Each structure stands twice: as C-alpha cells, then as structure tokens.
Structure 1
C-alpha cells in the first residue's frame, strides 16, 4: 500500500497515535478506538456488537481476539467487566457474543469493499489490476483466499514495479464472497486506486483479522516483506 510519492502506508498494525483512544474492558490496554470493537447496551439490557460505533448510549470497548472473548464470557469475567463499564448489573450477554462480533466485523469489511466499488475507488480483473499496478496507481492490492499462486506472484510483481508494497493482502474469504460484496462476477484480485479508500478498507480488514486470527497477520500467513509493520492511518469508519 502506498501514497504518492511512493510513501509506504499501513499494512498490518494500527497507528497508535491516531484519533481518540479507548480502554479494552478485558485487557485494560489503551488503543485508538478505531482499532477496538464497541459493544452497545440495548434498552432491553442485551449486549450487542456495534462495530460502526454509532449506537446511542453508553458503550464498552474490547481489543482482544475471539478466543479471549469466548473464554471470558464462559467464565463470567466478561459480565463483570461489562457491568462495571455500563454501570449496571441488569445486562444480558449472549453466549455466542464472540460469533456475533466476528460476523459483524466480517460484514463491515465486505460492506466497505462494496461502498468503495460503487464509488469507483477500485478495479478488478487481472489485466486491469496489473495495468494499474505497473502505472503506480494502486494503493492496496487484495487477493481472494483461493487466488492462484501464479496470479498472485504476477500481480505482486507488477505492484512492486509500480512502487507499491512487497505483496498483496490475502482476503480471508474466497472469490465467491468477494464477487457478491462487489456485485461483480469472478472477483479474484482487487486494486484500490484511491489512498483514502485503501485506508478505510485496510482498517476494516485489520480489525476483523485481529479478532479472528491475530497470529496470522493481515496477509493470512504469507510473507509480507520488511515493510509489513508500517502503521495504518485510519480515516474513521465512515
């Protein structure tokens, strides 16, 4: 991912100095709120994920992975933490809250891609992606989880030639899901051609990936190169 003139931007970590900060109710770690997941308390006392941070009322924030959430929920530690955060004991935490958070983060990432596609901020199709990459117009390169190795290598090389990152980002879902998200046929490779759009997409994917598999990294385990630790610059969850 890059910004003109060839300035490396974000691939797998959050910019710790970006935006308002919040404290995870479980780990007590303070991080930018865009790196955390907000939980909202409904009028019926039900706790639900609010990944866009738009629900009214008091919120609580978590910055741990799904396994930690599930364990804390099963042992009652999550209820204690949320009771303190919401300042009430009258709350109900679904037993499958971790799954609901994962589903919400996944949908947010897919919706973000769909919005950028409708806004004309990305291109797909191997030939179009390769041309844009070689011309230095690509700010983020994404491969479907089931993309072929040869296709990935070819487009990764084109991106490097154009001054981009060392390798594209593996999306956690296959081409069928990407195709539905974009409303297009056979979407295997995606190139974000707008810097702000690339940051928004990367931010959404980063939160999702950190929640489902924090050890894999954004590239899904593939080598991301020496620049993979550069900071993400968030532009909010708009």
Structure 2
C-alpha cells in the first residue's frame, strides 16, 4: 500500500530525451532501453520503493530492466537510494511483488481480449484461426502437452508464442476451467499483452519467443528465441 502524501516530483534523471521520449536508462546496468522492456519505480512519502508497472504513479521514476536478477541487484546494492540521492527502503521481496503484478496484468489483459472477441481457446479453434492466418499471438500452457504445442506452432512459424501460464490460470482469465491453447487476433490488446508477457518473462519461469522489440537507444529490432 502506498502511504498518502506527496511524491518527489523532480525530473526523472533516467529519462533520455525528456519525459515524452520512450527511452530510459536502467539504474543497474546503465543500459538505455525503450520502456516496454523496463519497470518503473517511485519512492513513496514514507521512503519505500513502490513498483509502478502501469507507469501511472506521480513522482520521479527510477527504471530497472525487466529482469529478476537486475532488480535483485538493485535491492541488494542499495541502488535505489543512490538513484534517489537519499535513503530509501526496497525490501528483498520486491522482485516477487513485481512478478505478481506483471502476472496479474497479463491475465487481466487476456480476459479483456476474450471480452473484446480477440481471443479463442481450445485446440481446434486455435488451429482454425492459425490456418486462416488470423492469429497474431499464441499462448501455450506451461503444463500442456508438448505434442499439441508443437503441432500448433508448426502452423504459424515465426508467430509470437508465450509459454508462461498454467492452463488453470489462462482458463480462469477466459471464464472456463482450463485453457491449454489460446490464440489472439491482431489488435491493440494483443500488442499490449505481448509486451507485458515479455516483461513478465524476465521474472518468471517460461519464455516468449519470436517477439520483435526495440530495446536500445539505436532502436534496433531484437528477436528473442
């Protein structure tokens, strides 16, 4: 919970090119990335470090690459205090808190995609959408059979595939008991879900493959496999 009061509203030193720019510098590695590969943090009035995964909280932001090891280092080396130029508190549970928030955000977006008619579940429905060329992203349950996942991936080589969630979690987001295979049609929600899955993959077991991201100041496309 964020303690009520005023946040530090001074400019963000990690912003490269001003607040409107998508580029930020990681306080751990010093690397410049676009925001879709990073996590924003702010310091609450009580001096605690608060994750701002939706990038909406007021105040001066401090950015860390979306990577569990990088965030753990920021905590253990007291790098948030260094970036804030004053003592702040970042507990050792911060990486787990961020992972939980990102997971929740991904599944919420999946639910929104279902309600918006952009998501279908079930092997046959997913296969038909893939065969028609109408899919922009595929989700495969981490506890699903590899045989089924392989068959669907073969229908759309190069399609982004996220393998991060259990069948029960995806099913709950889609209003059913289980969902082993899910495909999403093109659209803004799918783009947002893909970006959030990429960030979550830095904190949880699993992977997101065949995703194109701009991760550096040079805006180079990088494919993750």
From the superposition, tell whether residues 102 and 231 of structure 1 become closer, same or farther in structure 2 (CA, over 3 Å): same
Unaligned runs of 5+ in 1: 1-18, 220-227
Matches within 5 A, 1:1-238: 20-63=22-65, 65-74=67-76, 77=77, 79=78, 81-89=79-87, 91-157=88-154, 159-160=155-156, 165-166=157-158, 169-212=161-204, 217-219=207-209, 228=210, 231-232=212-213
Aligned to 1:9: none
From the superposition, tell whether residues 232 and 70 of structure 1 become closer, same or farther in structure 2 (CA, over 3 Å): closer
Q: Which runs of 4+ in 1 moved over 6 A?
A: none
Distance in 1 (CA, whole Å) between partners of 2:162 and 2:40 is: 25
Tell me: higher relative CO, structure 1 or 2? Use CA pairs within 8 A at least 6 residues apart.
Answer: 1
Q: Which is strand-richer, 1 or 2?
A: 2
Note if contact 1:199-1:232 (Cα within 8 Å) is conserved in structure 2. no
From the superposition, tell whether residues 121 and 233 of structure 1 become closer, same or farther in structure 2 (CA, over 3 Å): farther
Note if contact 2:42-2:60 (Cα within 8 Å) is conserved in structure 1. yes
Number of aligned pairs? 195
Distance in 2 (CA, whole Å) between partners of 1:232 and 1:122 is: 22
What is the CA-CA distance between 1:66 and the residue it aligns to? 1.4
Distance in 1 (CA, whole Å) between partners of 2:160 and 2:74 is: 35
In the superposition, the TM-score normalised over structure 2's length comes to 0.77
Note if contact 1:145-1:175 (Cα within 8 Å) is conserved in structure 2. yes
Aligned to 1:6: none
- Of the structure 1 ranges 34-43 and 63-72, higher mean CA displacement relative to structure 2 is found in 63-72
Unaligned runs of 5+ in 2: 1-20, 216-225
